[in-house]
Amino acid sequence: MNDSQKKDKQLEDNENGASQNETLQNASRPKKFDFDLIVLGSGPGGEGAAMQAAKGGMRVAIAERYTQIGGGCTHWGTIPSKALRYCITSTMKALQNPTFRQMGVNVSPTLEQLRQGTQTIIGKQVSMRQSFYERNGVPVLRGEARFLDKQTISVDGCEPLRAKHFVIATGSRPFHPDGVDFNHPRIFDSDSVLMLKERPQSMAVYGAGVIGTEYASMFRNLGIKVNLVNTREKLLEFLDDEITDALSYHLRDQGVIIRHNETMRRVEGCEDGVVLHLESGKRVKTDVFLWANGRTGNTDKLGLDNIPLEANSRGQIEVDEQFQTSVPHIYAVGDVIGFPSLASAAYTQGRAAAMHMLGQVDGNLRVDDIPTGIYTSPEISSVGKTERELTAAKVPYEVGHSLFRSLARAQITGETTGMLKILFHRDTLEILGVHCFGVNASEIIHIGQAVMNQPNGRNTLEYFTETTFNYPTMAEAYRVAALNGMNRLF
């Protein structure tokens, strides 16, 4: 080998050595991020975060353990329960119509018949939401996601994926206390009750929160005898007292038996029914039993101890006002963080978390301005302060009322049960709270919400007194309530 060949060989060896050293150095470096954001759960919270982040230019993926996207909201909670509620309400209302009675129409639909349209609605929801991910280039990772460390997850044990940010939006499931046999054919939780095959004659509902009162109202509309057992002094204590009293009155008027301040001792499943034993010594026997007392966050399989991040006894994760956990690049939204546990709130929270990641810290979304929507019969919806809160804060407020029975539209439709009340500052006339009980309350409330959020000077009672409303409409209740409130001033 001549000198020139030796020199070339030495240069080649040096290059190969440098290449090998570079390979070893790259192997020792952390792997580059696969995504800017990985969202765990495709319910409303996960969807809100994923869509907002994707539109903001982030590389996003979403992990979903169920065979279809949409989360509990689409498959076991909001959509199927509200679809069934609508079917029950509309069907029973039609069957009670005097015209049908005169024609000799006297049928009793089964629960299976009433449920038939639910799967069609779920299918439409899944198809629509799937298109959102496809249009925005967000891959759906199928399987159970688990944290391996602060920046890495594995989906069903497959190859690890790294991301700069994570959003935990895994939702919740019904809380199952020890001593209640949910495998018994007559004992249900708020998910499994939707698959009830035969219509029972009687039902005990333990837990009178939002879910319990909704199901009590729904099944009572089917003619089922309902015992609603409440562990507190009043129904839905977070609502305005007048609305709570109205709900209690109308549930009892419909035939629901309400038992306040009661605590379960044990539940005994029998062949011919279920016996609920209460600490007070009372015993309630019904055909079926529905446990509706609390939910548990789906965090037990997330590998939180590898982050480390700790959930509370109900599986819920604590977050700050930007929905960040104690690990700053990991966010949590929706039912997994607890109250208010609403689909609407979860979507807003998901968007807010994504906007915070994108650097839009201030004024991202009004997460404090979330209306309640409770689908009892009649509906309940509210936004803003209650009378109890304003009294405690010593705010000089006044009340404007409108009873639905005085509205022409309610008289035409026969939906005269209900009321709208507006709370306003008696000096500035600023709208402080709006509370509605009656048909379409969850729709009606948004008019008040919109006015409340106008700039100072435009968010007053005068908007309703000076605006022309279509006639006859339910929205006219705002004008009636505003004039009623004005008449109280002196």
Q: List binding-site positions for NAD(+).
A: 207-214, 294
Residue 324 CA to residue 447 CA, distance in Å, equals 32
State both tokens at 61: 């993926």
Q: At residue 128, what are phi and psi to the nearest 5 degrees? A: -65, -45
CA 91, 96, 100: angle at the middle one, nearest 5? 95
| Contact (CB, 8 A) for 222 and 88 | yes
Phi/psi of residue 344, each to 5°? Answer: -65, -40
Alpha carbon 1 to its chain's center: 79
What span, in angstroms and rounded, lies between the C-alpha atoms of 381 and 174?
24
Query: What radius of gyration do the chain's Cα atoms show?
Result: 28
Whole-angstrom Cα distance, residue 336 to residue 295?
9
N- to C-terminal Cα separation, the chain = 112
Measured CA to CA in angstroms, residue 293 lies from 2, 113, 116, 177, 219 at distances of: 89, 28, 28, 9, 17
Binding residues for FAD: 82, 170-172, 335
- The neighbouring-strand residues paired with 403 are 419
Q: Cis omega (within 30 of 0) on the bond before 340?
A: yes
* Closest by Cα among 348, 376, 366 to 436: 376
Residue 274 to residue 258: CA distance in whole angstroms = 18
For the purposes of burial, counting CB atoms within 10 Å of the CB of 28, is it exposed (0-12), middle (13-18) or buried (19 or more)? exposed
Binding positions: 82, 170-172, 207-214, 294, 335
Query: Contact 438/382 with Cβ under 8 angstroms?
Result: no
